[in-house]
Amino acid sequence: MDDCLFCKIVSKEIPSTPVYEDERLYAFLDINPVNPGHVLITPKRHSTNLMDAPEEDVGSIIKLAKKIAQALTKGGAAGINLEMNNGSVAGQVIPHTHLHVVPRTVDDGLKHWPGKEYAPGEAETVAERIRQDLG
Ligand code: AMP
Ligand code: ZN
């Protein structure tokens, strides 16, 4: 993709701070980290997000996330958040698949997203819809 920022980072046309690279993946520091050590894992082959990414890329991303999470923990992180924003409504700004690996520290002030409640019977309706759409 000629016009994709992360494709340009993968091809080294735009500089980044890498932490890992193999034939399928490139992992580098987020330029505006939630905490120092915040890593983005991206497939070298362009896809937009989780919904169109090849399964092999998704599997490799998750395996690498575990390794990077272990490394960050070794380096002092007290916990790790994985976040993947898929679609602009979900907060995706860069339309090239990537997974955020965010090291957490005690009292870093980050909050979890707020939870809603289901109306009576709603959860079963929603679950049935998902089961049907899963095919
Ligand atoms: P998202 O909202 O999931 O699309 O996140 C995109 C992330 O890319 C943000 O956390 C940005 O800080 C990060 N980002 C944008 N440009 C760069 C860049 N040139 N190098 C490293 N990270 C970047
Ligand atoms: Zn791309």
Mutation test of ligand 1: which of 4, 13, 17, 32 has the most ligand atoms closer than 8 Å to its C-beta?
Answer: 32
Tens of pLDDT along 20-36?
999 999 999 999 999 99
For this structure, is 112 an active site residue? Answer: no
Query: Would the pLDDT of 81 be above 90?
Result: yes
Query: Would the pLDDT of 123 be above 90?
Result: yes
Mutation test of ligand 1: which of 6, 7, 30, 110 has the most ligand atoms closer than 8 Å to its C-beta?
Answer: 30
Determine the distance from the C-alpha atom of residue 36 to the mean position of all C-alpha atoms in its chain, rounded to a whole number. 16
Name beta bridge partners: 26: 21, 42
Q: How far is the centre of ligand 1, averaged over its atoms, from the C-alpha of 127 (Å)?
A: 33
Give pTM, 2 decimals.
0.97
Nearest CA to ligand 1 atom 13: 30
Residue ranges lining ligand 1, Cβ < 6 Å: 5, 16, 30-32, 40, 85, 91-94
Domain ranges of the chain: 5-134
Query: Would the pLDDT of 58 be above 90?
Result: yes
What is the mean pLDDT of the segment spanning 105-112?
94
pLDDT at 1: 78
pLDDT at 2: 82
CB 30 within 8 A of CB 100: yes
CB 94 within 8 A of CB 5: yes
> Class of 5-134 per CATH?
alpha beta
pLDDT at 42: 98
| Cα distance between residue 101 and residue 8, in whole Å | 21
Among residues 38, 96, 98, 112, the one annotated as catalytic is 98
